[in-house]
Structure formats: structure tokens, C-alpha cells
């Protein structure tokens, strides 16, 4: 596979928190249009790695190239503008805002109206706002929140909040969607539906997906390639079948001797 | 035209309070003309503020509305807002008084051409004061807005103390008298319409036959403008970004909101209104004195925002008017009533104690403020039930949600 086919290339990404090595020279690639999963025991450094991709943390060393641009030293909003959208492990919606407004905030970097435009409310600004609202409504319906537009995000049921997070991330118009434990707290039924939804988003929105997930059913069902982290280091990478057979992975999850 | 009337009608149906705003505006504009009648009303007449008091109340309410952008929308606790008031007032002092006696420069001013110093028309001074205060907001904001929460509050508190000190000791910057020290700058030029005196408008408010009335009407219009801008900003892309930052900074950044720039804009625009109000008020009382810029003004303005309802424009306007009224008129009126009743108690001596009690009671019984921010419903749809994400009956088949049929 040539380099141009990869949407994201991370090379020797290293993150140290004092003496703690959270990312140990991780090499990682995401091909265009792929669904890739990052798994590992709790504390393996999955979310830390995620946060480096989105600019929340700066890597201690190494490089992250997204779509031809080095992003490892950019602030989060600039990375979002380049096309990485994300959700959060513990839901972080703007709870006092309506569902629609949450999605509109997601469009922030795709809209252009400035301060004077906001005060005078020129025709251009009005049109942009109207179009943004229409798109936001479409996205909410797409994610299954058809009649929740004007409800307070914080008052939505848990499942809907998860969906709203995805809708908000999609509103940033991403080329790569990062989902941090999207099915946490869902029952098996909901997880299965979510898996189908992720695949559908990938196909229809033409983007790549990276997910962190603990639910192996989801991981094995949806991902085309899986990367396994343990103690900040990459211990395995491959197709779901390969990962299921990998001794080091089984050892990491179940302990020594379990593979035998 | 008829479509406009229809729109007003339908809005009036949706929200019966829609007439409240025009009614208040009409009353506001009429007040100076019915002031005497109001003050002669039985029982409540004594409590009616004079037009002059209203000018002061409006100036402070404008500052509260400005502070609301910083604290209410963006959630940045600013304990040094008085600094912006000071910058506005001193801009008026520099550009419209005899302070710089080395120079003689007149530009459309209401005062005699004989006077030394810079005399720019107050209308232009208001704009320059706004812009200069905005600049001050950016200068203070850039280094401090990286801090969060309590740390930011402490640093702004510091700036709020630094600026009055600079002003107080600014009578000799290497021999240059910038602020005239403790004496302050006075007199500051009046507002007026020197070019429109032919059509009967006064060319000088201070010298006109009804100084308070003219100052009041312009102040009222400035307040309307401030509220208008504040509403428009709230409902814009920038306003949404502010509220998003208030709700969750990390998530806002991840959604593409540039934190520093957006916060700095909140600071700058919040400062802008404080600067305009400061300059206007300085012209009304014809002076800028370092003693006006104590820390307690910052707290006073913050109390207005909290009392009214953080983030709620109408709440802050009402809260600002109430507290300013109590401070500049109400407490002493109440005090004299108490004295008349034969009790020896002067509430003006305990004003901050009284505000403190008001705030504590508010926090206990109405923590969101007098008129809480209602996260406005953008659409009036009924949120009854959503199309389920999956269909329980058919074993997890995704329900068919086609965006085009919404």
C-alpha cells in the first residue's frame, strides 16, 4: 500500500508524563476509507494516543501526518478544521444548549460569519445561518435524532446523547472520525445497531473511522484492522482473525499461560 | 408590509410578552417628560428616580451588559472590569478636555474654540473610547486568558487594581502628565449637536436648558444599542462558540472553536461597551477621577450580572437597573423614610452588606437570577418521541431513516 493511500500516518509517537511512558514510539496508519480499531487493557494508553491525534496533548516526540499535513504541533481546533472529528469517552456535550445548537457548534470552523456580520445580520450571514440549520437538522435526523432538535442536550436520554456526539462530530465535516468507546453503556442490541451505523456512516459520508472499544463483539464485527496497545506500546496489529489468534494479545488480556 | 404585520402577529401569539419590550422602550423614552408627574404620585412617588439618576443607572447597566458577555456568555470570571470603565473615562478625558494644555485642537466639539487642549466631538470620543478599551481588553486578555477559572479571576483582579493605580500615579510618566494624578481630569466636554443646532437640538448638553433630559435620551439609546448588539452576538456563530466554551472548553476546542481567539473576542467586546459607557458617564459628570475606579465597582457590576441572571441579557439589564437604583437613589430614599418613621438607621452606610444579603438570598431562592437565561428554543417543535435507532420487534434491524424524507 502506497503512502498516498494512508489518510493518517503516525511515526514513532512518544508521550511521557514525567516518568510514565504513555505512548512508546507507536507507529500507526489509517488507510483512507478504513475502519480501524484501537484496543488494549485499561490504562494501555489508547485515549492518550487519541488525544495526541486530536491535539489535546502534544507528543513528546514523533510525527503525525494527516492528509499530508504534520499535525502533531497544531492546536485542537486547527486539527478539527483539517478534518479530524471526534467523540469523547465520557460524553462531553454542551448540556445547556439544544441538540441543534450542539451540532451548529460543530460546524463552527466551516462557517464564516464575523462580528459585524452577526450584529448587522447581512443577507449573506442570514443565508449561511439558514443553510447551517438545515444541514444540522439533516445530520440530526441522519443520526436518529429526528424530533430532538430543540431539546436540551443534557436532558436527552443516554443513548441519544451518544448519537448527538456522533452528529456533532460529523458536523465538523471530518475525513477521519474518531470514536472513543462509542458503545460504552449500551446493551448488546444497541451495540450491534451502532456497529451497523458506523459502517453506514463510513460508506455514505466517505470517511475513515478509528474507534477505541472494549466490546470485542463490536471490534471484531466492524473493524478491518485492529491495533493492540499494552503499557503504551503497540504489541500487535492485523485483521480481526489475526488478532484473535495472537498470543501476546491473549496474554495481555488474560495473563500468562492463557494462550496455551 | 402586510407580511411584516403578519410576522409580528404570529410572534405575539407565540409569546405574549412580545409587547413588553416596545412598551418598556416607549416608557423609557417618555420618562423624562412625565418625570414630574411620576414623582408626585402618592406613596411610590418618592421612590421614582430623577432623570439624572437614570443616566447614572443606565451607564452602569451598560457596563453590566458588557460584563455579561465575558462572565455570562463565555463563563470567564472577570473581577477587574472596572479597568475598562477607567480606560473609557480617561479616553474621554484625553480627547475632550483641557488636559493637554500644550496643544490646541478642535474637531466638531461643543466647547468654545478658545479653549486649549484636545477637543474632539464626544460622538467620535465614544467610538474611540470603545475601540481603545477593546484594545485594552485584548492586551489584558492575551496573557491571561490561557488561565482557567479561579486563576483567571485572580489575574483579572490584579489588572483591575493595576489600572486605577497607574491612573492615580500617572501625573508624571518621565515628566509627562498623562492622568493628572489624584485630581483627575475635569472638566470633560459635554455631548452636543453643534452641527444640528439650527434644527433646535442643543449644541451643548451641559449648557442646554435641560441637561439631564438630553443626557438621558442619548444614554437610553446607547443602552438600547448595547442590548441590541448583545442579543445579536448571542445568536450568532460567535455567541454559540462562547456558550460552548462556557459549557465545556475541551469539547469546544475539539469541535473546531479556537479557544484563545474566541475568548479574546469575548473580552474585547465586553470591554467595548464598558469603555463607551465609561466615556459617556465621564462626560455626564464632567470628569474622570481615580477614586471612581475602586475594586468595589467591579464587584458591584458582577452583582448586577448575578442578580439579573448570568447570560440573560434582559435579566442583566433589569438587575443592573435595580442595583444601580438602590445604590444611587433607592437606599437613601428608603433611609430617609426610615428616619421619618423615627428610627435611627441609615441603609446607605450598609450598602455592600445589603447587596451581600441580596446576593445570598438570590443564591438560596433563585440561583439562576431574576430572569434566568432561557436557552432559547430555536424551533418550536414538539419533542415527543424519536424514531427509534433500532427496531426491537425485528431483532435489531436499523430503522429506515432517510435524511431526505425529513
DSSP string over B287-301:
-B-GGGG-HHHHHHH
Residue B25 forms part of a structural domain: no
What range defines the domain where residue B232 resides? 49-374
Mean pLDDT of A61-79: 93
Q: Which residue of B has its CA nearest to A152?
A: B375
pLDDT-derived band at B398, boundaries 50, 70, 90: very low
Structure confidence at residue B381 (pLDDT):
36
Structure confidence at residue B14 (pLDDT):
67
| Interface ipTM | 0.92
Say yes or no to pLDDT of B79 above 50.
Answer: yes
pLDDT-derived band at B56, boundaries 50, 70, 90: very high
Residue B37 forms part of a structural domain: no
List pLDDT tens digits, range B139-169: 988 888 888 888 999 999 998 889 888 999 9
CA distance A24 to chain B (A): 24
List pLDDT tens digits, range A171-221: 999 999 999 999 888 888 888 888 899 999 999 998 999 999 888 888 998
Cα B109 from Cα B87, distance rounded (Å): 21
List pLDDT tens digits, range B247-264: 999 999 999 999 999 999
Domains located in chain A, CATH noted:
3-83+174-254 (3.40.50.300), 90-157 (no CATH)
Mean pLDDT, chain A, as a whole number? 90
CA distance B406 to chain A (A): 7
Planar angle of CA B264, B265, B267, nearest 5 degrees = 65
Residue B337 forms part of a structural domain: yes
Structure confidence at residue B378 (pLDDT):
40
A169 vs B346, more confident: A169
Say yes or no to pLDDT of B66 above 80.
Answer: yes
List pLDDT tens digits, range A118-133: 898 989 999 999 999 9
Mean pLDDT of A227-243: 91
Percent of chain B having pLDDT more than 70? 90
Say yes or no to pLDDT of B198 above 50.
Answer: yes
Residue B168: which CATH number?
1.10.3470
Between the CA of residue B234 and those of B222, B241, B277, B311, what are the distances in Å? 18, 9, 20, 9
Residue B15 forms part of a structural domain: no
Chain A contact set for B382 (CB, 8 A): 147
Residue B360 forms part of a structural domain: yes
Of B232, B247, B378, which is closest to A96 when you measure between CB atoms? B247
Planar angle of CA A23, A25, A27, nearest 5 degrees = 105
List pLDDT tens digits, range B227-238: 999 999 999 999
CB contacts < 8 A, A to B, total 167
Say yes or no to pLDDT of B390 above 50.
Answer: no
Mean pLDDT of A146-171: 91
Structure confidence at residue B387 (pLDDT):
40
Mean pLDDT of B62-66: 97
Structure confidence at residue B12 (pLDDT):
67
Q: Which residue of B has its CA nearest to A163?
A: B389
Say yes or no to pLDDT of A260 above 60.
Answer: no
Of B244, B251, B375, which is closest to A152 when you measure between CB atoms? B375
Residue B11 forms part of a structural domain: no
Q: Would you tell me how many other CB atoms lie within 10 Å of the CB of residue B208?
A: 18
Chain A contact set for B235 (CB, 8 A): 118
Chain B contact set for A221 (CB, 8 A): none
Predicted TM-score (pTM) of the model is: 0.88
Residue B208 forms part of a structural domain: yes
Q: Give the alpha-carbon dihedral of A168, A169, A171, A176, to 10 degrees.
A: -170
CA distance A99 to chain B (A): 10
Say yes or no to pLDDT of A81 above 80.
Answer: yes
List pLDDT tens digits, range B314-362: 999 999 999 999 999 888 888 888 888 888 888 888 888 888 898 899 8
Q: Which residue of A has its CA nearest to B246?
A: A94
Structure confidence at residue B351 (pLDDT):
85
Question: Using H for helix, E for strand and C for coil, what is the string for chain A?
Answer: CCHHHEEEEEEEEEEEECCEEEEEEEEEEEECCCEEEEECCCCCCHHHHHHHHCCCCCCCEEEEEECCEECCCCCHHHHHHHCEEECCCCCCCCCCCEHHHHHHHHCHHHCCCCHHHHHHCCHHHHHHHHHHHHHHHHHHHHCCCCCCCCCEHHHCCHHHHHHHHHHHHHHCCCCEEEEECCCCCCCHHHHHHHHHHHHHHHHHHCCEEEEECCCHHHHHHHCCEEEEEECCEEEEEECHHHHHHCHHHHHHHHCCCCCC
Count of domains observed in chain B: 1
Structure confidence at residue B2 (pLDDT):
64
Whether A106 sits inside 8 A of B255 (CB atoms) is yes
Residue B349 forms part of a structural domain: yes
Of B241, B256, B384, which is closest to A172 when you measure between CB atoms? B256
Mean pLDDT of A66-89: 93
Whether A97 sits inside 8 A of B247 (CB atoms) is yes
B76 Cβ partners below 8 Å, 6+ apart?
B70, B145, B152, B263, B266, B267
Chain B contact set for A193 (CB, 8 A): 389-390, 396, 398
Chain A contact set for B250 (CB, 8 A): 56, 76, 92
Structure confidence at residue B16 (pLDDT):
65
Amino acid at each position: 500500500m502506497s503512502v498516498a493511500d494512508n489518510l493518517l500516518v503516525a511515526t514513532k509517537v512518544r508521550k511521557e508524563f514525567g516518568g510514565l511512558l504513555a505512548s512508546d514510539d507507536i507507529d500507526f496508519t489509517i488507510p483512507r476509507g478504513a475502519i480501524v480499531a484501537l484496543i488494549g487493557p485499561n490504562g494501555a494508553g489508547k485515549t492518550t494516543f487519541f488525544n495526541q491525534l486530536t491535539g489535546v496533548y502534544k507528543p513528546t516526540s514523533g510525527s503525525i501526518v494527516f492528509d499530508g499535513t504534520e499535525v502533531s504541533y497544531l492546536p485542537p481546533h486547527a486539527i478539527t478544521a483539517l478534518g479530524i472529528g471526534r467523540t469523547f469517552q465520557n460524553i462531553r456535550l454542551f448540556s445547556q444548549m439544544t441538540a441543534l445548537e450542539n451540532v451548529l457548534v460543530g460546524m463552527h470552523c466551516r462557517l464564516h460569519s464575523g462580528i459585524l456580520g452577526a450584529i448587522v445580520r447581512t443577507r449573506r450571514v442570514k443565508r449561511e445561518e439558514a443553510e447551517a440549520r438545515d444541514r444540522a437538522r439533516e445530520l440530526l435526523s441522519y443520526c436518529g435524532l429526528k424530533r430532538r432538535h430543540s431539546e436540551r442536550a443534557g436532558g436527552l436520554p443516554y443513548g441519544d446523547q451518544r448519537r448527538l456526539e456522533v452528529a456533532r462530530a460529523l458536523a465538523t465535516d471530518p475525513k477521519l472520525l474518531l470514536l472513543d468507546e462509542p458503545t460504552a453503556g449500551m446493551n448488546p442490541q444497541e451495540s450491534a445497531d451502532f456497529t451497523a451505523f458506523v459502517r453506514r456512516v463510513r460508506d455514505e459520508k466517505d470517511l475513515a473511522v478509528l474507534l477505541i472499544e472494549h466490546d470485542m463483539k463490536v471490534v471484531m464485527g466492524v473493524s478491518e484492522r485492529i491495533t493492540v496497545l499494552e503499557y503504551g506500546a503497540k504489541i500487535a496489529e492485523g485483521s480481526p482473525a489475526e488478532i484473535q489468534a495472537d498470543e501476546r494479545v491473549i496474554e495481555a488480556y488474560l495473563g500468562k499461560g492463557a494462550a496455551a | 408590509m402586510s407580511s411584516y404585520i403578519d410576522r409580528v402577529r404570529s410572534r405575539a401569539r407565540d409569546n405574549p410578552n412580545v409587547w413588553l419590550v416596545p412598551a418598556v422602550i416607549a416608557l423609557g423614552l417618555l420618562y423624562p417628560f412625565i418625570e414630574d408627574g411620576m414623582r408626585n404620585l402618592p406613596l411610590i412617588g418618592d421612590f421614582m428616580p430623577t432623570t439624572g439618576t437614570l443616566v447614572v443607572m443606565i451607564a452602569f447597566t451598560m457596563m453590566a451588559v458588557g460584563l455579561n458577555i465575558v462572565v455570562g456568555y463565555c463563563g470567564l470570571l472577570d473581577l477587574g472590569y472596572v479597568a475598562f470603565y477607567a480606560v473609557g473615562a480617561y479616553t474621554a478625558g484625553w480627547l475632550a478636555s483641557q488636559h493637554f494644555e500644550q496643544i490646541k485642537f478642535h474637531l466638531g466639539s461643543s466647547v468654545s474654540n478658545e479653549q486649549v487642549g484636545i477637543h474632539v466631538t464626544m460622538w467620535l470620543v465614544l467610538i474611540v473610547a470603545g475601540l481603545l478599551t477593546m484594545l485594552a481588553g485584548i492586551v489584558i486578555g492575551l496573557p491571561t486568558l490561557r488561565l482557567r477559572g479561579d486563576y483567571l479571576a485572580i489575574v483579572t483582579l490584579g489588572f483591575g487594581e493595576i489600572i486605577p493605580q497607574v491612573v492615580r500615579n500617572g501625573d508624571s510618566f518621565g515628566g509627562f502628565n498623562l492622568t493628572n494624578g489624584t485630581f483627575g481630569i475635569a472638566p470633560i466636554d459635554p455631548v452636543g449637536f453643534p452641527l444640528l443646532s439650527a434644527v433646535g437640538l442643543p449644541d451643548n448638553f451641559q449648557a442646554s436648558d435641560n441637561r439631564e433630559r438630553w443626557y438621558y435620551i442619548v444614554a437610553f439609546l446607547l443602552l438600547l444599542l448595547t442590548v441590541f448588539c448583545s442579543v445579536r452576538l448571542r445568536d450568532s456563530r460567535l455567541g454559540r462558540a462562547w456558550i460552548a466554551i462556557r459549557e465545556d472548553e475541551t469539547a469546544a476546542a475539539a469541535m473546531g472553536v479556537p479557544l484563545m481567539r474566541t475568548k479574546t473576542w469575548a473580552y474585547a467586546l465586553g470591554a467595548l461597551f464598558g469603555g463607551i459607557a465609561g466615556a459617556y458617564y465621564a462626560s455626564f459628570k464632567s470628569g474622570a477621577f481615580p477614586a471612581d475606579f475602586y475594586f468595589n465597582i467591579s464587584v458591584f457590576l458582577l452583582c448586577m450580572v448575578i442578580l439579573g441572571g448570568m447570560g440573560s441579557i434582559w435579566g442583566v439589564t433589569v438587575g443592573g437597573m435595580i442595583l444601580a437604583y438602590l445604590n444611587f437613589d433607592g437606599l437613601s430614599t428608603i433611609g430617609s423614610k426610615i428616619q421619618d418613621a423615627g428610627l435611627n438607621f441609615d441603609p446607605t452606610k450598609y450598602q455592600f452588606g445589603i447587596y451581600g444579603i441580596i446576593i445570598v438570598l438570590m443564591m438560596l431562592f433563585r440561583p439562576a437570577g431574576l430572569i434566568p437565561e432561557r436557552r432559547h428554543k430555536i424551533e418550536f417543535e414538539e419533542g415527543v418521541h424519536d424514531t427509534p435507532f433500532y427496531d426491537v420487534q425485528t431483532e435489531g434491524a436499523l430503522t429506515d431513516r432517510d435524511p431526505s424524507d425529513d
